[in-house]
A and B are shown apart, each in its own frame.
Chain A
Amino acid sequence: MTTVKADSLRQKMDRSTALRATIKQVYIYVVLAVIVIIFSVVKLDQVDLFERGHFLSPDSIINLLRTAVPILTLSGAFTLLMISGYIDLSVGSAMSLSAVVFAWMVLNGFSFFPAIALTLLLGIAMGVLNGALVTKLRITPVIATLVTLSLFKGMALLIVPDGLSAIKSGEKVMPPWINDYARKEVLFGLPWAFWVAVLLVGLLIVVQRKTSLGKYAAAIGGNRLAAELSGIDAVTVGWVIYVIVGFFAALAGVARASYMSLGDPLSGDGMETACIIAVLLGGTAFAGGEGSVAKTMVGAIIIMCVTTGLMTVIPAYWQVMAMGSVLLIAVVMNHLLGQDKAKV
């Protein structure tokens, strides 16, 4: 009798774990579908905020994907970072600084490729700095990246004086081609910036799933000590991932600067929270150890849907609160689905 009981109990438990695993796999897609349906059903013409029409029209989808380029690129790299148990609060500032530097170079007569190459180098340098502070000097990631946050933001503000969002100087004019990268249609109505982002994020997905770097990242995030004892060079792996994040932040900054045709020193504000939300929505564990870049992309699209969708339905001042709620909901979902491993 008791064995039968135990068996049925085990079966039940197996079933509930299996159910939980299935929910974990699909819930993010369900959320995305529900959000898209809600915003498509809500009649936009009642609000007449903008006449662009239906939420699912090709125009608005293209627009959404175009504006989503920075968060798509950045949150992809951010996932890798959070899988390895680190965090980077400076990504927003790094993006602002890159945008400002890129715009400054374009304004001062650089052509596109040198400007983007130098900006990406700057991004790599910022990543090297963050990585050095966190992995070499072993300063707590939150504190180290908060310090670099104020550093990068301060530098961006020094290049562009406070109160001015665009770079303008007397006779110099921003060349019109700065827009081409993030606005000119090349394929399916989408610009270069989007396809570059798709390519690089695709590369990141491969790196995360198939290469030793991805496996090492998960190992470090899961149990750092065990990873080090089994011969993984945690310092180098962490450092490399910080450099990747810096590179992607610079890429996001270039896309933003090109999209707005100016360098705004505050354009990256809030990007770090947006990235965290996208990563958590994608089901990456808080403490690291598991996660998926591909699912983060779905999370990022959800965020973009919520922000652009909300703008058409309710006034803009609801947005911060909405994002905060989405973050806490993502946290609760991750908890319910058993993603967090209690460490205390």
Chain B
Amino acid sequence: MQINQLQKPSKPSRPWIAGRLSDESFITLFMVGVLIVVFGIASIAVPNFYKIQNIVNLVTNNWFIIILGIGVTFLLITGNFDMSVGGVIALTGVLAVYFCQAANVSQNVLANGLGLPYGVAVALALLCAMGVGAINAFFIARLKVPSIIVTLGTMMLARGAAQVITQGAQRNTSLPDSFGVLGSLSIPGTSIRLAVVVMIVLIFIAFIFEKKTVFGRRIYLIGSNPVAARLSGINVTKYLTALYLLSALLAGITGILLASEYKAGVSSRATGYEFDALVVALLGGVSITGGFGSVLGMFLGAIILSVVTSSATGLLLSPDWQFTLKGIVTFIAILAQRFALDKRKS
């Protein structure tokens, strides 16, 4: 059952495809096939689904999940979870608003902030996000506590802090005009916003980082065998710390962009995003057991999920179906990937 990343020498009896592709490319191609099939079905069932504008929307509407997915994917490859990203998004958004709001302007506590310039506010908010990442890293990399327990705790800590700052609601008044610029900026002549550009750039960087850097390759080694990785001189603690900081930073950037888009710091923002980020990574073939997966696969997974959910909306299914659908799709994807990989090996 273990997914093995190393290629075995090819035997003549095996199918031709086995010897030439790595398991990773195989799964990625497999998911491309799934995407094409799902998209085909959706195009038949839902009117106007195949139009270019809709295809663009499928990618651009999910930019936040894809940005989160990068950090979550790298951590999953090392065998760790990060469930705190949703909380970090809420916390950074709320903090950015709080830092930016003018000081002493109103009787209402929620309208008063610290009155810092936008740049400083963003920098401080991102620092706080990385603080949450540092807490994660300390417990998981140093104290060796299971990541799921720690990140559930920091998720509550971050979201709880956001709720305390906003008194359980939101902050959206007395904000400078500069606050909404980042979120509403778009490429002239198109509807593609800055956030989408950031997403594409980050995916590109992550792809190169994963394939071409020593750090990126070592992530796989840590995931497939932490003990061997440590014995061969890799400082696992350092790498995990860096990855948790990265994941929190990416969540922070998402939080800043979302807060700017809505011009509000909402404490319930991004509820359940940690689950979505995990789902897209799993859909893209990332495996927690064997140091296996890729950012490209996660990207494909995000688009598959987007096709499924938006075609469900197109079929006029009630939004209540979303939860069940996500569960079923993930379940089928995990089983299908297992099956495909097992078939290939035998």
A residues apposed to B, CB below 8 Å: 87, 89, 137-140, 142-143, 146-151, 153-155, 157-158, 161-162, 273, 276, 280, 286-287, 315-325, 327-328, 331, 335, 340, 342-344
Q: Are B320 and A331 in contact (CB under 8 A)?
A: no
B150 within 8 A of A: yes
By a CB distance below 8 angstroms, the chain B residues around A138 are 1
By a CB distance below 8 angstroms, the chain A residues around B278 are 143, 146
Most buried by A among B152, B166, B288, B319: B152
Q: Are A280 and B149 in contact (CB under 8 A)?
A: yes
B139 within 8 A of A: yes
By a CB distance below 8 angstroms, the chain A residues around B161 are 321
Given A158-B321, A328-B150, 19 more A-B residue pairs with CB atoms under 8 Å apart are A87-B148, A137-B338, A142-B81, A142-B288, A146-B278, A154-B326, A158-B320, A161-B318, A273-B156, A317-B163, A318-B164, A325-B157, A328-B153, A331-B143, A340-B143, A344-B144, A344-B227, A344-B230, A344-B236
Q: For the complex, what is the distance from the CA of A39 to the CA of B101, rounded to whole Å?
A: 36
Q: Are B148 and A142 in contact (CB under 8 A)?
A: yes
* Residue of B with least CB distance to A265: B320
Q: Are A146 and B152 in contact (CB under 8 A)?
A: no
B146 within 8 A of A: yes
How far, in Å, is A89 (CB) from chain B's closest CB?
8
Most buried by B among A143, A273, A280, A331: A143
Q: For chain B residues 311-336, which have a beta carbon within 8 Å of chain A?
A: 318-328, 330-331, 334-335
User: Among A157, A273, A318, which residue has its beta carbon within 8 angstroms of that of B323?
Assistant: A157
Q: For the complex, what is the distance from the CA of A157 to the CA of B327, rounded to whole Å?
A: 13
* Residue of A with least CB distance to B236: A344
Most buried by A among B148, B167, B226, B335: B148
B168 within 8 A of A: yes
Q: For the complex, what is the distance from the CA of A246 to the CA of B164, rounded to whole Å?
A: 34
Q: Are B149 and A143 in contact (CB under 8 A)?
A: no
Q: Are B156 and A317 in contact (CB under 8 A)?
A: no
Q: For chain B residues 224-244, which have a beta carbon within 8 Å of chain A?
A: 226-227, 230, 236
A157-B320, A328-B153 known; A342+B139 contact, CB < 8 A: no
Most buried by A among B145, B149, B168: B149
Q: Are A344 and B163 in contact (CB under 8 A)?
A: no
B289 within 8 A of A: yes
How far, in Å, is B247 (CB) from chain A's closest CB?
16
How far, in Å, is A107 (CB) from chain B's closest CB?
19
Q: For the complex, what is the distance from the CA of A331 to the CA of B157, rounded to whole Å?
A: 14
B155 within 8 A of A: yes
* Residue of A with least CB distance to B147: A142
29 sample A-B contacts, Cβ–Cβ < 8 Å, listed by A number: A138-B1, A142-B288, A143-B278, A150-B330, A151-B323, A151-B324, A151-B327, A151-B331, A153-B323, A154-B323, A158-B318, A158-B320, A158-B324, A162-B318, A273-B152, A280-B149, A286-B149, A317-B164, A317-B167, A318-B164, A320-B163, A323-B156, A324-B155, A324-B157, A325-B157, A327-B149, A327-B156, A328-B157, A331-B150
User: Among A147, A161, A323, which residue has its beta carbon within 8 angstroms of that of B160?
Assistant: A323
Q: For the complex, what is the distance from the CA of A328 to the CA of B164, rounded to whole Å?
A: 18
By a CB distance below 8 angstroms, the chain B residues around A161 are 318, 320
